[in-house]
Chains A and B, each alone.
Chain A
Amino acid sequence: EPEVTQTPSHQVTQMGQEVILRCVPISNHLYFYWYRQILGQKVEFLVSFYNNEISEKSEIFDDQFSVERPDGSNFTLKIRSTKLEDSAMYFCASSGRGSRNTGELFFGEGSRLTVL
């Protein structure tokens, strides 16, 4: 069964450093998302991406964040200068054409980011 894969599974970084989280969505999906979950808190929407551009983003997704689909298969989330409060589990998700409007997302297993 096709799945969304994320790397790394866990990254520890120093405050102020740049971090890139990588995702390989399901191959025939067209819509891509990043969500995050701070430990013990709700899952929060960060950004959605379609047709090589951001479709929607939340207030969390400020200028420190960026997304890119550099090569047609990977979908990356970059945090330019990490802060302590960026420590969270980051989930990548994708959805196909038919599921876009019904919200059935397929999630990766997450990348845990720890900022020291």
Chain B
Amino acid sequence: AQSVAQPEDQVNVAEGNPLTVKCTYSVSGNPYLFWYVQYPNRGLQFLLKYITGDNLVKGSYGFEAEFNKSQTSFHLKKPSALVSDSALYFCAVRAADSNYQLIWGAGTKLIIKP
């Protein structure tokens, strides 16, 4: 079965420190991987995606993610966290047998402390 796992419910980071939000996936075939962010009382906003090419993908707001095929991971990273990065982060993968359906992780709450 295809799935996405975000092993941490919450990640706490001090402002200015690097942050990592973890995501692993299980999907048949080549994965299309995504990160979305949800700010309080807001919708989901696209951050970045991996389709093919370089394993390190850069996205919005200074975020990047590294695709690791052998570890089936797609961790989200940022070199220096901002308090405004505090939000809920979702990893998602496009199902191999679907052109439309995204499979979502449970989300990780990121808290950046001043």
Which residues from chain A sit less than 8 Å from chain B, CB to CB?
4, 6, 31, 33, 35, 41-45, 48, 50, 55-56, 58, 91, 93, 100-110
**A56-B98 contact, Cβ under 8 Å, with A42-B105, A104-B34:** yes
What A residues does B51 contact at CB under 8 A?
A: 102
Contact with A103, one of B90, B92, B107 (Cβ below 8 angstroms): B92
**A100-B99 contact, Cβ under 8 Å, with A43-B90, A109-B43:** yes
Question: Told that A91-B44, A106-B46 touch, could you supply 13 new A-B pairs with CB distance under 8 A?
Answer: A42-B107, A45-B102, A56-B99, A56-B101, A93-B44, A102-B32, A102-B51, A103-B34, A103-B49, A103-B94, A103-B102, A105-B44, A110-B43
Which applies to chain B's interface (DSSP): helix, strand, loop or mixed? Answer: strand
**A55-B43 contact, Cβ under 8 Å, with A102-B49, A103-B32, A104-B34:** no
Q: Name 8 interchain pairs, CB-CB below 8 A, sorted by A.
A: A4-B43, A42-B106, A44-B104, A55-B99, A91-B44, A100-B100, A102-B49, A103-B92
**Does A107 lie within 8 Å of B45, measured CB to CB?**
yes
**Does B44 lie within 8 Å of A55, measured CB to CB?**
no
What A residues does B102 contact at CB under 8 A?
A: 35, 43, 45, 103, 105
Chain B contact residue count (CB 8 A cutoff): 24
Give complex CA distance A50, B46 in Å. Answer: 21
Interface hits, B71-114 → A, CB 8 Å: 90, 92, 94, 98-107
Give complex CA distance A106, B36 in Å. Answer: 10
A41 to B, closest residue via Cβ = B106
Contact with A58, one of B92, B101, B105 (Cβ below 8 angstroms): B101
Give complex CA distance A4, B44 in Å. Answer: 11
**Does B99 lie within 8 Å of A104, measured CB to CB?**
no
What A residues does B105 contact at CB under 8 A?
A: 42
What B residues does A100 contact at CB under 8 A?
A: 99-100
Q: How far is the CB of A112 from chain B (nearest CB, A)?
A: 9
What A residues does B94 contact at CB under 8 A?
A: 102-103
A100 to B, closest residue via Cβ = B99
A103 to B, closest residue via Cβ = B94
**Does A31 lie within 8 Å of B32, measured CB to CB?**
no
Contact with B100, one of A6, A31, A110 (Cβ below 8 angstroms): A31
